[in-house]
Copies of this chain bind each other. A is one copy, B any other.
Amino acid sequence: MDGVPKLVTDLLMPGREGGYAKGYETRELILRTALHILIEEGYRAMSMRRIAGACGMRLGNLTYHYPTREDLVRELLNAVISSYEVEFGAIVHAPGLEPEERLTRLCNLIIEDIGSKKTTRLFPELWALANHDAFVYERVHELYDRARAPLIEIIAEMRPDLPEKDRLDLGLFISASMEGLTVFAGYQMPFAQRMPAVEHIAIRSFIDIVRSFQPA
């Protein structure tokens, strides 16, 4: 937990003065525990009783803080998505660097995150949930839009001659392409130990395609 932003207090209630309202430490604990179970054991295992037990509290107390399971899931999702938005938002501003170098760094950072167990486990769960839950769909969709924004910004710097439509297409391809690595990063063999080489190929490919793209 060292330095990791707290889900609720730091993200859902940023910079609240005079401390936080009572019970927010508990809500915080609940969400972190729920997320842990979701990542380690999957959505099916993330029952109210399982969460309560892992928190060391009784079911009734959990439903006091989150009356329904849907309440809990929604706040968890908001917190998780917010944490990713904060992470990617920090990349946008890196003055004094060539756009290609910034593209490389951005891709490196995203791919590094993609390689983490948290992301490789969490996002497949979210994709599956999004298929049948409009709220999850909405939030994940929103996250991708925000994550794509700095990417498209850099593309615009590299190719000011392109119409916006083409820049969007390039951004969509690159982001989708990187997202695909999430699926494979979860596999141990033969992908895991080849990840650095594949990452290198990916970034080279991205730079090449942006540099050489010819509008139809």
Contact = CB atoms under 8 A, between A and B. Distances in A.
- The DSSP consensus for interface residues of chain A is helix
Interface residues of A, number: 52
Interface stretch (A1-9, A19-27, A49-57, A174-182): A174-182
Q: Report copies per complex.
A: 2
A186 interface: yes
Contact of A180 (B43, B169, B177, B201): B177
Given A124-B124, A172-B184, A180-B183, A209 B204 contact: yes
Contacts of A183: 127, 176, 179-180
A17 to B, nearest CB: 39
Given A44-B44, A127-B128, A209-B208, A173 B186 contact: no
